[in-house]
Structures are given as structure tokens and as C-alpha cells.
């Protein structure tokens, strides 16, 4: 395998830092050549000093001069502002763009990376949730691979190797159930953001951890799976599997099921995406069946955790609806973390926004931006009204 130059969009977040660990453990295979951060300039500077990339971007321009000065003696180009993200993904030496930005912000840079014919290692699922049709079409036109970093989708991608798409009967996404598995609405009314941030199996960023607690993460993953693998909503099942050992499964037309298993560690799907189609050795801990006591499964509770039901509805409606769902969700998660609203209000506000925003059947990139703004504004107003 030739050494691959990687642009990591969002290098200071949870996926970004784990990607750098993978790069560090395979210096002969991977080089981190572009690093970007939204606000965490201190870590970005440390990373740049260690990994010696060709370019860094600090999206918040307030920190530009600090980063520039700290890296004055290095051979690193320093850029500021979100527009720079769309430029650095086009640097000719870059082979793979790993998109680990949070939420809607990942869409435009990913769009530009595909146009520049870079392979995409996709950790930012919101890009496909919002504009899956647009992105997958563009990837096809440009003959670009979209390699999932999300553990469930990496599992399905691996199960599909060597199989024909006509043979797929359904995809079975596993969900840990998060910290509130088995709880009822009375319990959920009073949970705090601190309770919600205690994920039992995975260590992740704040936004995705809240999404996991509310099952919105699984809803977004259903939409992501639809676009990545070209299967309909009715062919995508969710099963709760609290141990997070089976990362997902594919059921074929003869009834046979393939699963991908492993310890819950994001470095594995990250490494698989970066090295694809090669499998690369590593020293990560191995799953030991002798110490594994049980693997259990249960049905997801979509009445209590209505976000999953809303996501299926958004996927079935199509067009701009998943964009509205995503925008409203980003606002309510921020408001919940800010202690402005309760846990159950998140779903109520998302549902209200989905009803109120005008539907667009075939939005282009600009229309998505407009709908994203409208939806956010609507949800913010609705939160304000609730508080008065």
C-alpha cells in the first residue's frame, strides 16, 4: 500500500484525535497532511507541532494570529475561517479526506472534496442525512468512494464485501440503547445533561452522546445507511444490543445473516476506512469469547424515544425533511446541554419544526442552506416561547 496523505477535518474532536492515534501507529502508511479545528487552537497547535502537516485551518478567525505565531518556525500554511475548509480539501497531494466535523457544517467541505475527487472517510453522518441524494450522486459522477467511519456502517460495508446488492434483504443496525435504555417517560422528564452524557460503551463527543441517549443517533444512522447502501427505509431494522459487540448485520435473500464483531473502539473503523481495501495489522485489544458472558437483543422503544420514529418518517418523506430534522435536532441538543429544555422536549420541538417548515422535494445545495437556517430559526423561537 502506498503511503496515504490524509486531511482530517475536525482533528481536535473525538474522532479526529483517534484518527491521529491511528496515523501515529502506522507512520509508514499514513501522513496527516491537513488538520483543522473550529475553536480548540491550543490542541491544533500541539498537533501541528507533532504531525508536521502541510496546512492547518482554525475556523474561528479570532485565533488566527495565535496559531500563526505559534507555528512561525514550522513549514505549515495557516488558514482561518470556514471557507478555508473547502480549499484545503482540494490540495493536490491529499488522497483521503476524513470528515469529522459536527453537524451541518460538514456538508460544504465534503461536497468540495468529492468534486476534487478525494476519497471520503465519512465520520460526519449529518452530511448524508441532510443531502444524501446530492452527495451520493456527486460521488458517483466523480468516481469517488465514500467510506463509512461510523461503526455500524463500517460493519455493514464489511459484511457486503463480495456480495451482490440484489442479494441484500435487509440491514440490521445495532444500537446500544444508550444510558436510558429501559427507562420510561416519567423517568426521562427529569434527567439532566450530565446523566445523558454517561454513555455505557463508547467515548464520543457531546453532540453524538446526547444523540445516542435520545436514539436520534440511530435515526440519523438509518438515514445514513439508506444513502450509503441504497436500501429502502422498510429494509432497515434497528435492534438494541447493549454490549455493542456486534456492530451491525446484513441479512441476505437466502436468510443468511453476516455480522461484524469487535470490541467497541472507533480506531478500528477509522483504520479500515483509511486503509481500504487493505486490512492493516494493529495492536488493539482483541475480543475474547472466553470472557464474553452474553450477547443480548431487544426491540427499540420508539414510543418513549420518539426521535427514532421521527427519523424514519423524515426518510420516508424525503426531500428537505431530513435536513429539517437534523437542523432542529442540532438546536435542541445545544439547548438541552445548556439546560434550557428538558430531555423529552427535544423530540417535541423537532416534531413541531418538521410540521411547520415548508417542504421542498428536490433541494440543491443552496436550498439546503436556506432550509437549514429556517429550521434552526423556527426551533430557536419555539424554545423561547416555551420558556416564557
Among positions 33, 150, 211, 301, the unique one binding Mg ion when judged by CB under 5 A:
150
Which of these segments, 115-123, 142-150, 350-358, 364-372, binds Mg ion (CB under 5 A)? 142-150
- Among all chains, which residue has been given the C-alpha cell 475480543? 287
Quick check: bond before 277 cis, omega within 30?
yes
| Choice between 212 and 375, CB closer to Mg ion | 212
| Choice between 202 and 252, CB closer to Mg ion | 202
Please report how close the Cβ of residue 151 comes to Mg ion at its closest, in angstroms: 5
- Among all chains, which residue has been given the C-alpha cell 482540494? 90
| Choice between 126 and 150, CB closer to Mg ion | 150
Please report how close the Cβ of residue 57 comes to Mg ion at its closest, in angstroms: 26
Please report how close the Cβ of residue 175 comes to Mg ion at its closest, in angstroms: 9
Asked whether position 211 contacts Mg ion by CB under 5 A, the answer is: no
- C-alpha grid cell, residue 237: 431494522
Please report how close the Cβ of residue 268 comes to Mg ion at its closest, in angstroms: 12
Which of these segments, 107-115, 144-152, 184-192, 239-247, binds Mg ion (CB under 5 A)? 144-152
DSSP string, 90-131: T-TT--EEEE---GGGGHHHHHHHHHTT-EEEE--HHHHHHH
Please report how close the Cβ of residue 208 comes to Mg ion at its closest, in angstroms: 8
Which of these segments, 126-134, 146-154, 222-230, 363-371, binds Mg ion (CB under 5 A)? 146-154
Can you tell me the distance from the alpha carbon of 47 to that of 361, in angstroms, rounded to the nearest whole number? 43
Return phi, psi of residue 364, to 5°: -95, -175
Q: Which of 88, 17, 102 is nearest to 58 (CA)?
A: 88
Neighbours of 10 (CB within 10 A): 28
**Binding footprint of Mg ion, residue count (CB under 5 A):** 3
| Choice between 208 and 357, CB closer to Mg ion | 208
Contact indicator for 359, 317 with CB cutoff of 8 Å: yes
| Choice between 97 and 173, CB closer to Mg ion | 173
| Choice between 94 and 173, CB closer to Mg ion | 173
Which of these segments, 143-151, 281-289, 303-311, 332-340, binds Mg ion (CB under 5 A)? 143-151
- C-alpha grid cell, residue 49: 507541532
Site map 98..137 versus Mg ion, x via CB under 5 A: ----------------------------------------
| Choice between 219 and 363, CB closer to Mg ion | 219
Which of these segments, 108-116, 151-159, 281-289, 328-336, binds Mg ion (CB under 5 A)? 151-159
Instruction: Tally the C-alpha atoms within 13 A of residue 262's C-alpha that lie toward its C-beta.
Output: 18
**DSSP bridge pairs for 198:** none
| Choice between 91 and 197, CB closer to Mg ion | 197
User: Cα separations (Å) of 228 from 57, 122, 125, 154, 321?
Assistant: 28, 10, 10, 10, 18
| Choice between 223 and 344, CB closer to Mg ion | 223
Please report how close the Cβ of residue 205 comes to Mg ion at its closest, in angstroms: 12
Please report how close the Cβ of residue 369 comes to Mg ion at its closest, in angstroms: 26
Contacts of residue 145, Cβ cutoff 8 Å, sequence gap at least 6: 119, 120, 139, 276
Contact indicator for 146, 228 with CB cutoff of 8 Å: yes
Please report how close the Cβ of residue 355 comes to Mg ion at its closest, in angstroms: 28
Please report how close the Cβ of residue 323 comes to Mg ion at its closest, in angstroms: 20
Neighbours of 73 (CB within 10 A): 8
- Among all chains, which residue has been given the C-alpha cell 479570532? 62
What are the residues binding Mg ion (CB under 5 A)? 150-152
Amino acid at each position: 500500500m502506498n503511503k496515504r496523505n490524509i486531511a482530517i477535518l475536525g482533528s481536535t474532536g473525538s474522532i479526529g484525535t483517534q484518527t491521529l492515534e491511528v496515523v501515529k501507529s502506522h507512520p509508514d502508511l499514513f501522513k496527516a497532511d491537513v488538520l483543522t479545528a473550529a475553536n480548540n487552537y491550543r490542541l491544533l497547535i500541539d498537533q501541528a507541532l507533532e504531525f508536521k502537516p502541510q496546512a492547518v485551518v482554525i475556523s474561528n478567525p479570532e485565533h488566527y494570529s495565535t496559531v500563526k505565531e505559534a507555528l512561525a518556525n514550522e513549514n505549515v500554511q495557516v488558514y482561518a475561517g470556514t471557507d478555508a475548509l473547502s480549499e484545503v480539501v482540494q490540495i493536490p497531494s491529499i488522497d483521503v479526506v476524513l470528515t469529522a466535523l459536527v453537524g451541518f457544517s460538514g456538508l460544504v467541505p465534503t461536497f468540495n472534496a468529492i468534486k476534487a475527487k478525494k476519497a471520503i472517510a465519512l465520520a460526519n453522518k449529518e452530511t448524508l442525512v441532510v443531502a444524501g441524494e446530492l452527495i451520493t450522486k456527486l460521488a458517483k459522477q466523480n468516481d469517488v468512494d465514500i467510506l463509512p467511519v461510523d461503526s455500524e456502517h463500517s460493519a455493514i460495508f464489511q459484511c457486503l464485501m463480495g456480495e451482490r446488492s440484489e442479494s441484500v434483504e435487509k440491514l440490521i443496525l445495532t444500537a446500544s440503547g444508550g444510558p436510558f435504555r429501559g427507562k420510561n417517560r416519567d423517568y426521562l422528564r427529569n434527567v439532566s445533561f450530565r446523566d445523558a452524557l454517561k454513555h455505557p460503551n463508547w467515548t464520543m463527543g457531546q453532540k453524538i452522546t446526547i444523540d445516542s441517549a435520545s436514539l436520534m443517533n440511530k435515526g440519523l444512522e438509518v438515514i445514513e445507511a439508506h444513502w450509503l447502501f441504497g436500501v429502502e427505509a422498510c429494509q432497515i431494522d434497528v435492534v438494541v444490543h447493549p454490549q455493542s459487540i456486534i456492530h451491525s448485520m446484513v441479512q441476505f435473500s437466502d436468510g443468511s445473516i453476516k455480522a461484524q464483531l469487535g470490541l467497541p473502539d472507533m480506531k478500528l473503523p477509522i483504520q479500515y476506512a483509511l486503509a481500504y481495501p487493505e486490512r492493516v495489522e494493529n495492536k488493539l485489544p482483541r475480543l475474547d469469547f472466553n470472557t464474553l458472558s452474553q450477547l443480548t437483543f431487544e426491540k427499540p422503544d420508539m414510543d418513549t424515544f420518539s426521535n427514532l420514529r421521527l427519523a424514519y418518517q423524515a426518510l420516508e418523506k424525503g426531500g428537505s425533511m431530513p435536513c429539517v430534522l437534523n437542523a432542529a435536532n442540532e438546536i435542541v441538543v445545544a439547548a438541552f446541554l445548556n439546560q434550557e429544555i428538558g430531555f423529552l422536549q427535544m423530540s417535541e420541538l423537532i416534531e413541531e419544526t418538521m410540521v411547520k417548515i415548508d417542504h421542498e422535494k428536490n433541494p440543491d445545495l443552496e436550498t439546503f442552506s436556506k432550509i437549514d437556517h429556517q429550521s434552526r430559526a423556527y426551533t430557536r423561537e419555539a424554545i423561547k416561547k416555551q420558556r416564557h
